[in-house]
Chain A
């Protein structure tokens, strides 16, 4: 970790204190939660001019609460807390469980946080892609007030979240469970602890007659932000699910050119995403029984 301009590492004790520090330092401060992305940032010279690190570990954002409007997950909740919570074994939230469990290694899962993975705005992290699949919302607060946005809107390309310097993401809100709905997450990696080459999250809702009511498909590491493939729902809506339908969709996707990345070319991703999509849909169907 190299941060030559760093003057202090501060650990505030509550949200209000954190917000005051953020507005006081205006862009000279960076929030850190687990600290696992810090290295990536400093390698890319993205921490130049950062004089203060503000650690939000002790401000009371470590919780998973079930409320009327859904499940509230605090920003500093770690991936292992998600994996060990039986709530996420339900078919509706299963994609999040799989994504959190798929995060590289046990040691990283002990410190990596939900809020941190969103705010780093990296397309190949698993948990943010699963949250987009589940239509999660995020609560962002500042001294001026609070706003609730879709997690999808926070991503603004590599390492640049749409969150201003004086704002703090405090929690993620997952929607209330729906009937006959299951979600699934599949990722392709070279080795089990690697970042995803590409990943697919699928949320599938069947109507009472067994037709496809809603299907949300998200591709990770496909564009610089999580990519929602709308074509799938256009084709599949109100149809009975069958192998022919899945094969047909596989021929029709993806609707955009994927980005090249260090571990795979655009050409390869375009081919392999079809297969991952099929696996994810089959996984969701398996959960629906």
Chain B
């Protein structure tokens, strides 16, 4: 099968990868680039564990064709951790006790990131809506909205409303 070369920007780093034309973005991230933050939960857009941010929007990377991502900026959970410091959202997710098994957390954090990117003062309803595509079976997902509020507080303290 003919391979295809694409150029994508992942977490601020330009990558050129050779892929099959039908590969999903998730496959490229995990199998070609070794970024295993985004998880392969259901692989058809049901669980949200594979959520990444493409050009500022949260998408399911499992159903996002990799070629579509060509020339776009992709942010995965690995990209939030910078210079040995956790991103305020990551810190808030820890402090709000949102983690039990942790499988859905990378996706949920990226959904929260996309929410705060487009809206620096979300209402309770908007926060709930942002997590509408992320499942958590440990029931710790109940605390995600609270984590977003804590993250907002941290970001204000650090003076970076939009990270």
- Shortest A7–chain B CB gap in Å is 6
- Are the CB atoms of B22 and A2 closer together than 8 Å? yes
- A107: which of B4, B45, B67 is its contact (CB, 8 Å)? B45
- Are the CB atoms of A3 and B45 closer together than 8 Å? no
Q: How large is the interface on B (under 10, 10 to 19, 20 to 34, 35 or more residues)?
A: 20 to 34
Question: How many chain A residues touch the partner (CB < 8 A)?
Answer: 28
B102 adjacent to chain A (CB < 8 Å): no
- B57: which of A32, A38, A40, A110 is its contact (CB, 8 Å)? A110
- Are the CB atoms of A111 and B133 closer together than 8 Å? no
- Are the CB atoms of B65 and A55 closer together than 8 Å? yes
- Shortest A69–chain B CB gap in Å is 31
Q: Can you name the residue of chain B whose Cβ is closest to the Cβ of A40?
A: B44
- Are the CB atoms of B65 and A106 closer together than 8 Å? no
- A105: which of B2, B4, B133 is its contact (CB, 8 Å)? B133
Q: Can you name the residue of chain B whose Cβ is closest to the Cβ of A55?
A: B68
With a cutoff of 8 Å between Cβ atoms, the chain A residues found around residue B57 in the complex are: 110
- Are the CB atoms of B133 and A8 closer together than 8 Å? no
A53 adjacent to chain B (CB < 8 Å): yes
B64 adjacent to chain A (CB < 8 Å): yes
Q: Can you name the residue of chain B whose Cβ is closest to the Cβ of A52?
A: B21
With a cutoff of 8 Å between Cβ atoms, the chain B residues found around residue A4 in the complex are: 1
Q: Can you name the residue of chain B whose Cβ is closest to the Cβ of A2?
A: B22
- Are the CB atoms of B64 and A108 closer together than 8 Å? no
Mask, B59-85, CB within 8 Å of A = 1, is 110011101101000000000000000
With A105-B132, A107-B48 given, is the CB distance from A38 to B59 under 8 Å?
no
- Are the CB atoms of B21 and A108 closer together than 8 Å? no
B24 adjacent to chain A (CB < 8 Å): yes
- A9: which of B45, B65, B111, B129 is its contact (CB, 8 Å)? B65
The interface residues of chain B, by DSSP majority, are classed as loop
With a cutoff of 8 Å between Cβ atoms, the chain A residues found around residue B99 in the complex are: none
With a cutoff of 8 Å between Cβ atoms, the chain A residues found around residue B134 in the complex are: 105
- B45: which of A2, A11, A108 is its contact (CB, 8 Å)? A108
With a cutoff of 8 Å between Cβ atoms, the chain B residues found around residue A11 in the complex are: 67-68, 70
Q: Residue among A39, A43, A111 with the most chain B CB within 10 A?
A: A111
- Are the CB atoms of B133 and A193 closer together than 8 Å? yes
A192 adjacent to chain B (CB < 8 Å): yes
With a cutoff of 8 Å between Cβ atoms, the chain A residues found around residue B29 in the complex are: none
- Are the CB atoms of B64 and A35 closer together than 8 Å? yes
With a cutoff of 8 Å between Cβ atoms, the chain B residues found around residue A6 in the complex are: 1, 20-22
With A107-B48, A110-B59 given, is the CB distance from A53 to B111 under 8 Å?
no
- The CA-CA distance from A3 to B4 in the complex, in Å, is 14
- Are the CB atoms of A1 and B1 closer together than 8 Å? no
With a cutoff of 8 Å between Cβ atoms, the chain B residues found around residue A9 in the complex are: 4, 21-22, 65, 67
A238 adjacent to chain B (CB < 8 Å): no
- Shortest A135–chain B CB gap in Å is 29
Interface residues of A, Cβ cutoff 8 Å to B: 1-4, 6-9, 11, 32, 35-36, 38-40, 43, 53, 55, 57, 104-108, 110-111, 192-193
- Top 5 A-B pairs, shortest CB-CB distance: A105-B133, A9-B21, A107-B133, A9-B67, A3-B22
9 A–B contacts, CB within 8 A, in A order: A7-B21, A11-B67, A36-B63, A53-B65, A55-B68, A57-B68, A106-B133, A107-B51, A111-B63
Interface residues of B, Cβ cutoff 8 Å to A: 1-2, 4, 20-24, 43-46, 48, 51, 57-60, 63-65, 67-68, 70, 111, 129-134
